[in-house]
Structure formats: structure tokens, C-alpha cells
Amino acid sequence: MKKAVGFVKSNLVMSIAVFLAVVTLFLVPIDKEYINYFDFKTLTCLFCTLAVICALKNIGFFAFVAKKIVLSCRTLRLAVIALVYITFIGSMIIANDMALITFLPLGYFVLSSTSNKKAMAFTFIMQNIAANLGGMLTPFGNPQNLYLYSYFNISNAEFVSIMFLPFIISIAVITLLCVIFVKNDGLKLHDDTDYKLPPLRTFLYIVLFAFSIFIVFRVIPYYWGLIVVPLAIFIMDKSALKKVDYSLLITFCAFFIFAGNLARVDAIHDFIGSLINKNTLICGVLSCQVISNVPSAILLSKFTENYPALLVAVNIGGTGTLIASLASLITFREYNKNEPGKALRYVGLFSAYNFTMLILLTVIMYFVLY
């Protein structure tokens, strides 16, 4: 029983998603239409990118690059900005949750080794916001982007044009906050570790990552990813396949079933449809605050064709509450592990900065889209 409770706690969103999917089985019995619920291209792209990212993480690729950059900083302000920018850019390439898992420990390393732990709450919060908002510009930057990009068959140029303004605003505001709230004190970071990457594996993993991106951009048929990527990684580092976030894939599948079934119940379809079509942006942002951004994207996509507003909503909606994005829970857990007993202060600061960002972006994008 303890193991079961522990599993549910550690995979809470997945457990809720599976529960909701099972409940809807009583509303819509399993039939041949179920197979149409699943976006196999999204699932394949997600699996391939996660697998390659795990392989790159195993050889220390991201830590290697990030530490080289941070070690060149000479002030606390520059170091924090570098950490935030690395997380920002990282989320565009390896998705927000993986960017945080990779770069939050680096933030702790920099601040603790230079006696600047007082800046940790602010730095972690800015890294968190950067991770949630940095990935908005690319289809593979956030899981919800990958899904909506595929579901609505959005072109690359249109995707970037929709997300460019909130992306630029996010960079400007995050940078301004770092300049205002981080002192420009001198910083001397000592690290004599000799960082080395295995040349052949590094090259091959980068090639595999490029291969995965080509699949996302529809250059290579997605089914090739299921053959090439797992086979190559199994040969080079099968432990990476074990570290793939399969709970995220299961969560996607469960919400596909949940959303697909709700869309087939006329009363529910009409009710949700009437709400979201009144204002897709506001409805999407509010939905993220309650059920987080990935489930919101999957659910609401069944009830609207206004994908520009929905795409913006589920990206900027990742800020706000702790559950608006699963990545925020990763940051909270990491901070609580490193700074026990300070959770309440962290949540207060987190809410202040996140809701400020959320309100600002929502107001600006409301006038742009409407």
C-alpha cells in the first residue's frame, strides 16, 4: 500500500490523467474511434527527443556547455543572467522540464560555492519562468507546442510569428528583473574539474538530435524515429532509454482518451465549446492554472479552431500557480531539497513574480489577438 501511495505521489499528474481517462470510459464505451484519439506523430517526436536528451545528459553534455559559460562570469548579476539565459535557451532545445532538471543543480553549484545562497530563491524562480516561457518559440520547446503544432498542422513560419511577440517580451522582462533585483557584486568561481566529453558519442547524439528535429519539422516521416533513435541509443547507451520520462508519454495518452471522449458527449462538448469560443486566450490561461498547460492544450484543442490564441494561452499560462506547469513543481522540489524550511517564502516570491508575468503577458496578448 505504501508503495502504491508513493507511486501516485511521485506521478501525480499521470495518475490523475489515467483516473480521468478511466472515468470517461463509462461515458463512451471503447470502440474503433478510440484509435483516432491518439496523435502518434506527437508521441513519437516526444519519445525521440526525450531519449536523445537523456543520452546527452548521461555524458554530461549540457552541464559541460553551461559550466563553461558560467565560469566566464565575473559578477553575481552576470552569473544569474547566464544561468537564466542558459535555462531559457535550453528549454527551446530540450524542453522546459529537462532544462530545469539539468540547469537548476548548476544554479545551486554556482551560488553555494560563491557564498551567494541568499540569491537562490530568486535565481530558481527566474530559471523556472525562463524554462516555461523560453520553449514557446519552437514546436519542440514545450510538449504542448509539439502537440498543437501537429494537431493543427501549423506551418513553421506561422508558429514562430504567433509566438515571437510574447517570446521577446518574456526575454526583456526576465532580463530587467535580473538587473533590478540582483546585485552587481564581484564573483570568483573556483572549479578545477577537467571536463571532457566522449567525442564519438557526442557527435552521434547530436546527429540523432538533429534527426529528431527533422521529424518534428516533417522533413522525415515520424515512423523512422521509432526505428532509428531507440536502436541507436540502445547500442550506445541503453540506460538512457530507461531514463526517458515515460510518465509524460502515458499522461499524453490518458489525456488523449479523456479529451476525445469528452468531445463525443454532446452536452459537455457544447458547454466547453461555448466557454472557450467566448475568449480562447482567457479560457486557456485559466485552465492552465487549474489543470496545467499540457492537459489544457489537449483538452481545449477539441473545442476550438482558434489555435493562435490557444497556443499563446497554454504557453504564457505556464506561469502563475505552482501547478500551471509541471516544470514548476520540479523547481519547487529542487529548491526545497537544497533550502529546507524556506518553502513558504519561496511560494510567496514564486507567486508574486509568476502572476506579475502572467498578467502582463495576458493583457498585452489580449489586445494583440482581439
Per residue of the chain (370 residues), give pLDDT as tens: 767 777 776 677 688 888 888 998 998 999 988 898 887 887 888 788 888 888 988 888 877 776 776 777 888 899 899 999 989 988 887 778 778 877 888 888 788 878 888 999 999 999 999 999 988 988 877 888 989 998 999 998 999 999 999 999 999 999 999 999 998 887 766 555 666 789 899 999 999 988 988 887 778 888 898 899 999 999 999 899 998 888 878 887 887 888 788 878 888 778 888 888 889 999 999 999 987 888 889 889 988 999 999 999 999 999 999 888 878 877 888 888 888 888 889 999 999 999 999 999 999 999 999 8
Contact criterion met (CB below 8 Å) for 96 and 292: no
Cα(144)–Cα(296) distance, rounded to whole angstroms? 9
Place of cell 529537462: 98
Cα(331)–Cα(327) distance, rounded to whole angstroms? 7
Rg (CA), the chain: 21
Look up residue 241 and give its three cell numbers.
532509454
How distant is the alpha carbon of residue 68 from its chain centre? 24
Cα(255)–Cα(298) distance, rounded to whole angstroms? 7
> 75 forms bridges with which residues in the sheet?
186
Q: How many CA atoms lie within 13 A of 278 on its CB side?
A: 7
Look up residue 250 and give its three cell numbers.
502515458
Cα(114)–Cα(108) distance, rounded to whole angstroms? 10
Cα–Cα–Cα angle for 310, 152, 293, rounded to 5 degrees: 35
Cα(357)–Cα(351) distance, rounded to whole angstroms? 10
pTM: 0.78
